[in-house]
Amino acid sequence: MCGFPIVNIGGGAQRFYGLGAGTALADQLVNQHTETAYDNASYIRGKHQFKFGFEFHHSAYNGLGAPGNFDGTLNFQGDLAFTANGGSTALQDFLAGKPTSGSILVNPVQ
């Protein structure tokens, strides 16, 4: 995974939802091809023993990958950065790096 998570900040007048790279991405078509080649060789001259070999594997995946919420979600609702003077706002929690909750997609099911 790489990129920014979806960030949701607050409610009421201070409300920013769906910030981050994850919201702009839909499922993406993936065309992945992997090719692997192996070679084998043996040569013994006395009493004759020769072996030769070659092995080739080609794997292909064509389908959907990179779901839209792949990098996770962070939610900021307020009252975590400080409690004095009525508590912090959601934006202040965001700037202080104090999320209310978060999630990340682990081992996506395809």
Determine, yes or no, domain membership for 50: yes
User: Which DSSP string corresponds to 1-22?
Assistant: --SPPEEEE-STTS-EEEESGG
Would 46 be classed as within a structural domain? yes
Residue 110 lies in a domain: no
Q: Is the pLDDT of residue 66 over 80?
A: no
> Which structural domain, as residue segments, surrounds residue 97?
6-103
* 29 in a structural domain: yes
pLDDT class for 96, splitting at 50, 70, 90? Answer: very high
Does residue 91 form part of some domain?
yes
In this structure, is residue 31 part of a structural domain?
yes
Which residue has better confidence, 85 or 12? Answer: 85
Does residue 108 fall inside a structural domain?
Answer: no
Number of structural domains found in the chain: 1
Q: What is the pLDDT of residues 21-39, one digit of tens each?
A: 655 555 667 677 888 898 9
Report the pLDDT averaged over residues 43-58.
Answer: 89
According to the per-residue pLDDT averaged within each range, which of 8-12, 13-17, 53-57 is highest?
A: 53-57
Asked if 68 contacts 75 with a C-beta cutoff of 8 angstroms, the reply is: no
Select the more confidently predicted residue: 51 or 64: 51
Q: Classify the phi-psi angles of 23: left when phi > 0, otherwise alpha if psi is within -120 to 50, otherwise beta.
A: alpha
